[in-house]
Amino acid sequence: MHSPVLLFSDIDHLVVKHNNLIDAKTQLSEVENKIVSLAIVLTRLYDKNTDQDMKIDSTIRIYASDYMKTYDVGITAAYNALNDAMDALYERSFTMPASDGTLTDYRWLQSKAKSEKEKISEGYVQFAFSDKAVELITQLENGNFTTYGIERISRLKGSYSGRIYELIIKYKNTEADKSTHLRTTKIFELETFRELLGIESHEYRKKQQPDVTRMDNFKEKVIDKSLEIINLESDITATANYHRTGRSITGISFSFEFKKDYVPSFMRDEKNSTGEMRTVGDETKQPKGKDKKKPDGAPALPTVKNDAEHLGTDLRKEDLQGQDNAFALELGDALKVVPKTFAAAMEISEAMYKQYQDAGGDLSIKELLERSVDSGKQPNAYVSLQVFELRQKAKEA
């Protein structure tokens, strides 16, 4: 059974997972992980919209239009991604200790179906999470869960960037170092970390020693590439720390900080200035009122409060458009009016400019600001892209 759930295109809806699910070993692809994240958002929205009659553990329907709007892809690409990923997702499992400590495999889904609509715009997939997955999405006590905004992962491409972001963001509430202001994850044992990312046992291995990770290849293709994407597209800046036993690297941790100048994509998108409201599956339906009760037995989700450190929130653009929020920002010869909250986003941080200089960049901050305006990109994002291109050129030289 399916009922529409309200989504707002100008809200960074929260993905909420039990930490045991974050720590589970799984092999989800980029698209499969994004489908799961969107489904979790829908279940949370059900809990907020008490006039809906869909139980959190009943069938969830995701339309191609919802995937398109959430992850900013074309409708055909969204339709193909959903349909191509569902068969694989149905076969996927995650591995974690059972109550007695035995490592146990659990399926993500217990059922699946695809639409047979002729119009791509009306296409959808629907599925039900397995009982264990439902438990790890809904039964979240004692603060043992991780939250992040779905917008924060919406532009993370590739096999590993979204998963690495998730493993890092679990440690968002750890105490920051007083001198560097960086937070640091635990040290992941190298082989365990490979399993957490779903890397096959034969991948990134030395030919002569098939049980030893080929670190140069692993760093370049998995770690460095993923961190480039995370640092460019998400709300954090992260670096990898490698830990040795003797001469061999046996562990990895990540140090990170939240970007003070991060602006969600829905706030940067001038075409989406009205904050449209939409529903999953049927954009003509409206809420039926707030006096209907949630079905008996429907699991309750915890209320997740906004975090001061740029976590995923239910913030709307209207909250930023109050009195005195206009801010005139001078960029070279241009004068750009932006919301006051965005002022910091139109600057280049010292840390980012240092990365640019270390990579061989020779433009001044003023020149970079002017070029970022011409490119239409947020300044730090523009400079991060320049750093990536400079490093690529250095490798090819």
Span 77-122, pLDDT tens digits: 999 999 999 999 999 999 999 989 999 999 999 999 988 777 888 8
What letter represents residue 339's amino acid?
P
Nearest of 75, 174, 160, 53 to residue 122 by alpha carbon? 75
Distance of CA 315 to the CA centre of its chain: 16
pLDDT band at 32 (very low <50, low <70, confident <90, very high): very high
1-155 and 158-264 agree in CATH topology = yes
Q: Between these two residues, 378 and 74, which has the higher pLDDT value?
A: 74
Q: Between these two residues, 315 and 391, which has the higher pLDDT value?
A: 391
Domain at 158-264: CATH code? 1.10.10.10
Q: May I ask the CATH class of domain 1-155?
A: mainly alpha
The DSSP call for residue 202 is T
Residue 305's alpha-carbon distances to 65, 310, 311, in angstroms, are 29, 12, 10
pLDDT band at 47 (very low <50, low <70, confident <90, very high): low
Say yes or no to pLDDT of 61 above 80. Answer: yes
Residue with tokens 């090819």: 396
Distance of CA 13 to the CA centre of its chain: 11
Q: Compute the distance between CA of residue 239 and CA of residue 223 in angstroms, rounded to an integer.
A: 9
pLDDT band at 12 (very low <50, low <70, confident <90, very high): low
- What is the arithmetic mean of pLDDT over 279-305? 39
Residue 294's alpha-carbon distances to 7, 46, 50, 274, in angstroms, are 18, 9, 5, 30
254's tokens: 């990540």
For 270-328, the DSSP string reads GGGTT--EEESS-TT-----S-SPPPTTPPPPPP----TTT------GGGG-STT-EEE
Nearest of 342, 327, 187, 207 to residue 261 by alpha carbon? 342
Report the predicted TM-score, pTM, of the whole model to 2 decimal places. 0.67
Check residue 376 and give its pLDDT. 67
Distance of CA 87 to the CA centre of its chain: 23
Q: Between these two residues, 245 and 391, which has the higher pLDDT value?
A: 245
Check residue 284 and give its pLDDT. 30
Distance of CA 305 to the CA centre of its chain: 18
Q: Compute the distance between CA of residue 45 and CA of residue 277 in angstroms, rounded to an integer.
A: 13
Domain residue spans of the chain: 1-155, 158-264, 333-396
